[in-house]
Amino acid sequence: MGSTQWPLRTALLSEISREGHEAFSLPKNRAFPEVPQPKKGRKARAALPELSELEVVRHFTLLSQLNYSIDGGMYPLGSCTMKYNPRINEHTASMPEFVHLHPRTPDHLVQGALELMYNLENALAEISGFSRVTLQPAAGAQGEYAGIRMIRACLQARGNARRKILIPESAHGTNGATAAICGYEVVNIPAQVNGLTNLAQIEQLTREGDVAGIMITNPNTLGLFEGDIKKLCDLIHEREGLVYCDGANLNAMLGITRPGDAGVDVMHFNMHKTFTTPHGGGGPGCGAAGVSKTLIPFLPYPTVEKSPANSELFMLDNNRPQSIGKVKDYFGHFLMMVRAYTYITELGNDGIRKVGEDAVLLANYVRMRLKDHYQIAFDQACMHEVVFTDKKQNANGVKTLDIAKRLIDLGFHPPTVYFPLIVPGALMIEPTETECLDTVEKFCKAMIQIAEEAKEPDAFQRHFANTPKEMPYARINETKAAKDLILNWKDLSHSPGGPSQDNR
Amino acid sequence: MSEIKKDLLYTKDHEWVRKGDSVTSVVVGITDFAQAALGDVTFLQLPPVGTVFKRHDIVGSVESVKAVSDIFAPLSGTVSKINETLVADPAPLNTDPFGTAWLFELEVTNENEFKDLLTPDAYATVAQ
Amino acid sequence: MRYLPLTEAEKQNILGLCGVGSFQELVSSIPEELQLKGLLDLEPGLSEMEIIGRISKLAKKNKAAGMVSYLGQGAYDHSWPVVIDQITNRGEFLTAYTPYQPEVAQGTLQAIFEFQSMIAEILGLEVANASLYDGSTAVVEAVLMASRIQAKKTGRILVSEGTYPHVMEVLRTYLTPLGISIETWVSDPSTLLVSASALEKQLGGSQPTDIIGIVLQSPNRFGLVEDWAELKFASQNLKATSIGFVSHPHALALFESPGEADIDLAVSEGQSLGIPVGFGGPYLGLFACRKKDVRQMPGRLVGLTEDANRQRAFCITLSTREQHIRRERATSNICSNQSLMALRATVYLSLMGREGFRRVAELSRAAAHYARQGLKALLNKEARDLVVVEGEAFNEISILVPSKYALWPETLQAAAESQNILAGLSIDVPRASSFVSGLAFAFTEKHEKKDIDDLLRVVELTLKKFHK
């Protein structure tokens, strides 16, 4: 990461700024007549920095060198599906005829965009076994929100609104937060010994008749396929509830099985996981949602339809009286949809199947290579990710966090740590299918080396204290950040350890 | 092994209770086990003096970088005093949870509830 | 397959290592009935050339591309320096994960800290978060934050009449299940602006105690700049949280910011900061508040700290507010920020700087005023019943349409289309208005005099035809 001949850090834009520097190139005026000054003008000019273009380019180039990225190395992050972001996606998403399209342009002038959305929806529906798909949600969490809202709307329409949602303890944090902001009371389902949901337990919890539904993740957050999924869906439906499935782990199922077939009513897609839209350092995502026939009337509006007058034409349908409304303005992250569509088109049906297979194969490779070195949470064939605990290493004073930070020194981003919460000291590993076996093996070797180091006497002091040591940045003090709470460069009077003027 | 003081009573939520100056007042804090689980405390939120709580109500929260823990009322009563110094700088919660890092004082309204608090030995089985 | 390097031989090795004879055995936890029997009903994969060919064809079906656009109402077709794409397309930014491991993500983290600083500056408040999905959801989040600050779980919010309908729709969607109802803060039909005194009258002189927050959009959907002081008075009177929704951040290069007017929460749609209109997304929600309220603030936050060698560094902070720790007690369910879009905005603002940011605003405003003057003169001559909205405007102007001319906007848009012009958007008028609709035109630094003259010519032609 980063060449040592370059300065390793860069000052803040506010520190590089010099009065009179400029990097913009705008017409001086357009020969328009002068406009009177605003009556309530801004009192002081916005104190934005002033830099030359070279300073800006250099600043961000140097910053980029401090980032780990998929382009630079493997991310074995469980549940994140950090697969390669194909560049052809960037090419298609930057076509000017997509980029400069205003979202309120009349339908007949944006037929290409509508057709693309229509085709993408159909492809996703086919991949997941749902009847219809909405592309409106901005990210997974919003897709989740739309899903629970549709469940709520459906039950209300039936005249049988209920107050509770069941969520397994192993679920992702967004599940509980989403249920809460939809006005539901969350009932936590305690985890079972084998990590899978227990039908008898669910049967008991739904007996009262006040359960609107269940939010499950399949494969679950331990990387295991919920074999009872169809029975679970049948049970919930019998009790007049609906089933939401968190689609974060869809990668494991591509071409192998479909949640819609098992009876799931709604599932959100993480396009930025399964369908390679880029993570961009934390967003934007793209969170479509697939629904069963039951929930179609409640989809957010507008939906993309073929024109009733002419099936060659596409239109946006705002006339959806039972719709939950709009979870975000306009139609969703269109330019991300172009990327996902490109990817699915490139894979095709044969490629999609290979994605699911290879993802599962590589995760099981990691499982077999590491299970003698790390305690595995559940010793059975996994899907696309595998979960270990730090129990063996902890006995010698080395914890999951230490393993993670040490791994950075060995050239890898750490796996997902401390999730799911039901596994103490969890290490969740998902290699993804875009990594070749050599890379995955290198990762396994690094993990094995760490396990060996953790066995040594005084292991923590010898290998794990103060890691990472090889990076431009040593262990970062997160406690100090929370205590000092400096969130704006305006608060900086003096910043200790900032780069010297020479390094600007 | 986390520290457990013998002269205090406890709750299963990892809080301690000490009899205060008068018969009806108690002092409340969090235990060594709690502070260790939280990690470095960054923020403390306590209720205003005079607030009335029922046993098990959430009265405030303790935050660290990676976790937030609710603080519960171990007994029903009215908050008579809060540790303002600790709110300003909660660091002593990690170093002196049984002493200077007391959280608040409570004027107890139902003395019957005392019997449901845990003895140090009973708490020892919880705090494993 | 270029993204799927596992070879058949390697596959067999792995199966052997796992002690199974087939892939089928490996996934035996999936019930037989749920396993797909063949390939999905999709086409087989295409080659790069074929894909690009197909998608180019789709792109070319967008006839609007290449037209001169005067469409606004929440998305603005500004230009941006081409170097932004070069920078943000760098793999180190594009393909980086969320910066949870700060030691290997200082690039993203420092950029977000810089973003937060500049957005806080523009909005005039102390702290800005790392961004939310878009302007509409930012308004929703502000209302939810107001409900936390006020400790009022249910109640009402007031939203100014000049707020975009799509923001209202999103608000309704989120607030309905939470027991928070929305009432319109009615604007004066003659000025198309709101005022605190009019609000008092609207509320019948009562002093309701259930108002959680008041949202004022400025510039409003008629293009007029509202007075934040009215929001301040109204919210003080009603003891509610004031929420300033800045529909267009460039407006704040020239006009008073919400922070300068002591507004509690400021939110905005940041799309015009170097982000394409892109048929609706991804966009960029901006959110700022005072430091004392930061613990109630939704979204990601990056704070300054140091590493073990006392080097300055950055990390995500106060994540205890977020969903992965708080779960059902979280301040919102948001998981991501719009990091890459925030980066675009950061690079945009670094390149524009103090002067450029202002220059874009001035050029946009000058174009809008030139157009407004031209329209006034034209309508005065050709169609007195059509009224150009007067008042303090930024880059968007509007015409009010009486029933006599109800069909004219469509005629204009059709005629303009044949001239390769997208002539504005139809907008609703206030309930109390005597007009039936409005037509809004947005301008940016891209528009030259001759573009606007072309537009005026089409307006003139269609009016003349209309009168025949």
Residues A300 and A260 grouped into a single domain: yes
Chosen from A1, A64, A492 to mutate, greatest number of chain C CBs within 10 A: A64
My answer on whether C301 and C409 are in the same domain is: no
**Tens digit of pLDDT for each residue in C174-224?**
998 888 999 999 999 999 999 999 999 999 988 899 999 999 999 999 999
Q: What is the pLDDT of residue C221?
A: 97
The pLDDT score that the predictor gives to residue A230 is 96
Q: Which of C92, C305, C330 sits opposite A65 (nearest CB)?
A: C92
Q: Flag whether A35 is in a domain.
A: no
Q: What is the pLDDT of residues A180-234, one digit of tens each?
A: 888 899 998 987 777 788 899 999 999 988 999 999 999 998 899 999 999 999 9
pLDDT per position as a tens digit, A235-290: 999 999 999 999 999 999 999 999 999 999 999 999 999 999 999 999 999 989 99
CATH class of the domain comprising B9-111? mainly beta
Cβ-based neighbours of A239, under 8 Å, separated by 6 or more: A206, A209, A211
- Which of C300, C319, C349 lies at the terminal end of a domain, its last residue? C349
- Does the residue C59 lie in any domain? no
pLDDT value for A2: 44
CA B120/CA A161 separation, integer angstroms: 47
A483, A484, A485: which to substitute to probe chain B, counting the most B Cβ within 10 Å?
A: A483
C-alpha–C-alpha distance, residues C96 and C106, integer Å: 11
Shared-domain flag, residues A214 and A253: yes
Q: Are residues A317 and A179 in the same domain?
A: yes
Do C299 and C437 belong together in one domain? Answer: no
Enumerate the residues of chain B whose CB falls inside 8 A of the CB of residue A478. 65
Do the chains contact at B43 and C325, CB–CB below 8 Å? Answer: no
Nearest to C258 by CA among C368, C128, C130, C362: C128
Whether C315 and A183 lie within 8 Å, measured CB to CB: no
Residue of A13, A31, A46 whose CA lies nearest to C356: A46
- Is C64 a residue whose pLDDT tops 70? yes
Give the range of the structural domain holding residue A417, as residue numbers without chain letter.
350-479
Cβ pair B63:C319 closer than 8 A = no
- Using CB atoms and an 8 Å cut-off, which of residues 266-325 of chain C contact chain B? 295, 317, 319-320, 325
Task: Tell me which of A429-433, C149-153, C329-333 is least confident.
Answer: C329-333
Closest CA to A428 of A366, A369, A372, A488: A366
Q: In Å, what is the CA distance from B105 to each residue of A261, C164, C348, C365?
A: 58, 51, 54, 61
Size of interface B-C (CB pairs under 8 A): 16
Q: Are C433 and C400 in contact (CB under 8 A)?
A: yes
Q: Which long-range contacts (CB under 8 A, 24 or more apart) does C318-322 make?
A: C318/A482, C318/A485, C318/C294, C319/B65, C319/B66, C320/B43, C320/B63, C320/B64, C320/B65, C320/B66, C320/B67, C320/B68, C321/C295, C321/C296, C321/C297, C322/A173
Same domain, C163 and C279: yes
Does residue A501 sit within a domain? no
Task: Please report whether residue A33 resides in a domain.
Answer: no
| SS3 label, residue A376 | strand
Cα–Cα distance between A464 and A484 in angstroms, integer?
27
- CA of A266 vs chain C CAs: smallest distance (Å): 17
Q: Give the minimum alpha-carbon distance from A20 to chain C in angstroms, rounded to a whole number.
A: 9
Chain B: give the shortest CA distance to residue A112, in Å.
Answer: 46
Are C367 and C317 found together in one domain? Answer: no
Which CATH number fits the domain that encloses residue C343?
3.40.640.10
Cβ–Cβ below 8 Å for C75 and A481 = no
In terms of domains, do A327 and A382 share one?
no
Residues A302 and A319 in one domain: yes
Residue C427 lies in a domain: yes
- Tell me, yes or no, if A495 comes closer than 8 A to chain C by beta carbon: yes
Residue C95 lies in a domain: yes
* Residues C340, C363 share a domain: no
Does residue A58 belong to any structural domain of this protein? no
- Is A478 close to B63, i.e. CB distance below 8 A? no
Same domain? For A229 and A337 the reply is yes
Are C132 and C238 contained in the same domain? Answer: yes
Both C100 and C215 in a single domain? Answer: yes
Is residue C324 over pLDDT 60? no
Instruction: Give domain status of residue C193, yes or no.
Output: yes
Report the greatest alpha carbon distance in chain B: 38
Cβ–Cβ below 8 Å for A351 and C1? yes
Residue that terminates a domain, selected from C287, C320, C349: C349
Query: Does residue A44 lie within any of the structural domains?
Result: no
How many domains in chain C? 2
User: For chain B, which ranges sit under pLDDT 50?
Assistant: none
Residues 200-239 of A with CB under 8 A from C: 224-225, 227, 229-230
Instruction: Please tell me the distance in Å from A71's CA to the nearest CA on chain B.
Output: 29
Q: Are residues C188 and C324 in the same domain?
A: yes
Domain match, A292 and A334 both: yes
Residue A6 confidence (pLDDT): 55
Residue B4 pairs in a beta bridge with none
Q: Interface pTM (ipTM) of the complex?
A: 0.96
**Contact state of B68 with C326 under an 8 Å Cβ cutoff:** yes
d(Cα B111, Cα B108) in Å, to the nearest integer?
7
Domain chopping of chain B, boundaries: 9-111
Q: Are residues A448 and A333 in the same domain?
A: no
Residue of B41, B45, B65, B68 to mutate, interface with A, max A Cβ within 10 Å? B65
Question: Does residue A228 sit within a domain?
Answer: yes
Residue A9 belongs to some domain of the structure: no
Contact C6, A362 (CB under 8 A): yes
pLDDT of residue A502: 38
Residue C64 lies in a domain: no
Q: Give domain status of residue C30, yes or no.
A: no
Token couple for A475? 């262990």
Mean pLDDT, chain B, whole residue set: 91
The whole-angstrom distance between C188's CA and the closest CA on chain A is: 19
Is residue C60 in a domain? Answer: no
Query: Between A173-181 and A140-157, two packed helices, what is the crossing angle to 10 degrees?
Result: 40
C330 and C415 housed in the same domain:
no
Residues A170 and A314 in one domain: yes
For the four alpha carbons of A367, A369, A372 and A375, in that order, the dihedral sign comes to negative
Residues C217 and C317 in one domain: yes
- Residue finishing a domain among A327, A344, A361: A344
Nearest residue of A to residue C105, measured between CA atoms:
A67
Average per-residue pLDDT for chain C: 95
What pLDDT sits at residue C153? 86
Cut 0.90: pTM above it: yes
Residues of A in contact with C45 (CB under 8 A): 345-351
Collect all residues from B whose CB is shorter than 8 A from any CB in A: 39-40, 42-43, 63-66
3 state DSSP class of C179: coil
Shared domain for C345 and C254, answered yes or no, is: yes
Gap between the Cα atoms of C208 and A236, Å rounded: 44
Residue C32 covered by a domain: no
Q: Are A3 and A491 in contact (CB under 8 A)?
A: no
What the block records as the tokens of B61 is 């929260």
Q: What is the pLDDT of residue A94?
A: 97
Residue C342 sits in the same domain as residue C439: no
Mean pLDDT by 10 residues, chain A (504 residues): 58 95 90 92 91 97 96 96 98 98 98 98 98 96 94 95 91 83 88 80 91 94 92 96 96 97 97 96 93 98 96 96 95 97 98 98 98 95 96 96 95 93 92 97 98 96 93 92 94 58 36
Domain boundary among C349, C384, C405: C349
Residues spanned by the domain of C457:
354-467
One domain, residues A206 and A319: yes
Q: Is the peptide bond before A468 cis (omega within 30 degrees of 0)?
A: yes
State the alpha helices, DSSP H only, in A381-475. Answer: 391-394, 400-409, 437-455, 459
Whether A309 and A373 share a structural domain: no
Short-list C252, C247, C257, C298, CA closest to C132:
C298
Residues A283 and A388 in one domain: no
pLDDT at C327 over 60: no
A6 domain residue, yes or no: no
The more confidently predicted of residues C119 and C176 is C119
How many domains does chain A divide into?
2
**With contact defined as beta carbons under 8 Å apart, do C330 and C318 qualify?**
no
List of residues 6+ apart from A362 with CB closer than 8 A:
A431, A432, A433, A435, A437, A440, C6, C14
